[in-house]
Structure 1
Amino acid sequence: MTENHFRILIPSLLAPPVKIFSRMSAAEEIVVDIHETYPKQTLRNRYYIGSPNEVRALVVPVKKPNGHRTKTSEIEIDYSENWPLYHKKSLLTAYSKSPFFLYYADYVYAEFERKHPFLFDLNSALQSLFMKWLHIETPVRMAEEFIRGFDGADLRTAFKNNSSWQLSREYYQPFGENYGFRNSLSVLDILFNLGPEAEGYIKKETDYADIQSC
């Protein structure tokens, strides 16, 4: 299989690490599986940011109408807590000094406040924004059913946490002098800190051999 015919299969993700967008940029097609049985405590409903004192996980609370058999397409967002406000305050605390925070933040906030009923709706809306900002034109297709065998790179099990998405190069982070470079943070981190230059970083980070091995 050549790079021009490479496909990746991913779950529906909230605001995943930077490196997944390198894989998305290199692929010919992105297939999103929303028919898998929803696993808890993964990057499907959480993302990691570099706060002043720690790497913090921000979580979108969800409801499973069919219990442990609930599919990702059926996962509902729980608005009984004002999580959008908490996320906004957390992002402001972490990135208010980042040079491009004001350029992108309102668009992200708007999706939080839109009150999407289902998690995959919010994830899809954010993914579209990220791909637009990073100029990733790879076509995205929602799987029509659960896929048992996939002709390409099946990355569905690679998103239990963010530790496996290490970057090969550092970039500016506001608290880098105190804590060093914090790896595997949400794509929001590189957008807020590098702005339009994030596109070039991600294209250079792309390693097709690495993609095939995932």
Structure 2
Amino acid sequence: MCSQSNKLLLPSLLAPPAKLMALMCHAEEIIIDTHETYPKQTLRNRYFIGGPNDIRSLVVPVHKPNGHRTKTSEIEIDYNENWPLYHRKTLTTAYSKSPFFLYYADYIFAEFERDHKRLIDLNAALQNIFMKWMNIKTSVSFADDFVREFNGVDCRTSCKNSAEWVLQQSYYQPFDTIYGFRNSLSVLDILFNLGPEAGDHLIKETDYAGLQSS
């Protein structure tokens, strides 16, 4: 896990954990590296949500045109499966009782159904939406080449799954009376449940003492 810093290096992420978005709130600059060799089974093409029964992982299927040497920037979205419909149904089941689901959901579904060819294009579109909704003003740029040395905090290897990204501040969730607060979920969870207050809530996340640089 990476620690708090004014300068962050991130991979291209689909719908990152709320804690990672909190880190972005406190950063002064974010650089996204899309020139890495694409690693499978990470937050680059998946996110975690809290459903009525369990925590679920939703995945955008992808195709590697150059096999194991494919860069993240070259990864293509696979539409052979109707994953946009599956994500829509699963998110609706999980969050239909959340107070702001109807306010935000159609914008998310529209991006899922926009037929982005490359994964990084979908991820960038969603990131812009999340940052706008949460009023995150941090400067974001894309690296021109693979970043080998970075004068800041490199979070690229900290994005294998969401378990490392633990919030200190809990918030309302529809099933919290059954399961308690379920941590490390996608930013979608806090947006659907807190709405416009999500950004203010994440700004309160200032405890990064336990996070170690990768």
Same fold? TM cut 0.5: yes
Q: For the Cα contact (< 8 Å) 2:154–2:213, is it kept in 1?
A: no
Q: Which amino acid aligns with 2:118?
A: F
Q: For the Cα contact (< 8 Å) 1:8–1:31, is it kept in 2?
A: yes
User: Could you say which residue in structure 1 is the equivalent of 2:98?
Assistant: 98
Q: Which amino acid aligns with 1:58?
A: L
Runs of 4+ in 1 over 2 A off after TM superposition: 206-214
Distance apart, 1:211 and its partner CA: 6.5
User: Could you say which residue in structure 1 is the equivalent of 2:197?
Assistant: 197
Q: Which amino acid aligns with 2:98?
A: S
Cα distance change on mapping 1:203 and 1:211 into 2, 3 Å = farther
Counterparts of residues 66-81 of structure 1 (less than 5 Å): 66-81=66-81
Question: Which SS does the other structure have where 2:48 is aligned?
Answer: strand
Counterparts of residues 131-170 of structure 1 (less than 5 Å): 131-170=131-170
Counterparts of residues 81-96 of structure 1 (less than 5 Å): 81-96=81-96
Q: Deviations over 1:119-172 (max 9, x none)?
A: 000000000000000000101000000000000000000011111001112111
Q: For the Cα contact (< 8 Å) 2:168–2:207, is it kept in 1?
A: no
Q: For the Cα contact (< 8 Å) 1:153–1:212, is it kept in 2?
A: no
State the distance in 2 between where 1:80 and 1:196 align: 35
State the distance in 1 between where 2:48 and 2:160 align: 13
Number of equivalenced pairs: 211
Distance apart, 1:25 and its partner CA: 1.1
Question: Are residue 181 (structure 1) and residue 177 (structure 2) matched?
Answer: no
User: Could you say which residue in structure 2 is the equivalent of 1:111?
Assistant: 111
User: Could you say which residue in structure 1 is the equivalent of 2:27?
Assistant: 27
State the distance in 2 between where 1:26 and 1:210 align: 16
Q: Which amino acid aligns with 1:100?
A: F
Distance apart, 1:206 and its partner CA: 3.1
State the distance in 1 between where 2:126 and 2:50 align: 19
Cα distance change on mapping 1:210 and 1:31 into 2, 3 Å = farther
Q: Deviations over 1:2-54 (max 9, x none)?
A: x8x82100000000100111111111110000000000000000000001111
Q: Quote the sequence identity (%).
A: 68
Q: Which amino acid aligns with 2:66?
A: N
User: Could you say which residue in structure 1 is the equivalent of 2:38?
Assistant: 38
Q: For the Cα contact (< 8 Å) 1:23–1:211, is it kept in 2?
A: no
Unaligned stretches of 5+ residues in structure 2? none
State the distance in 2 between where 1:20 and 1:135 align: 15
More helix by share: 1
Q: Deviations over 1:153-200 (max 9, x none)?
A: 000000111110011121111111111111100000000000011111
Q: Deviations over 1:39-82 (max 9, x none)?
A: 00000000000011110000000000000100000000000010
Cα distance change on mapping 1:213 and 1:36 into 2, 3 Å = closer
Q: Which amino acid aligns with 2:65?
A: P
TM-score by length of 1: 0.95
Backbone CA RMSD of aligned residues: 1.4
Unaligned stretches of 5+ residues in structure 1? none
State the distance in 1 between where 2:211 and 2:159 align: 14
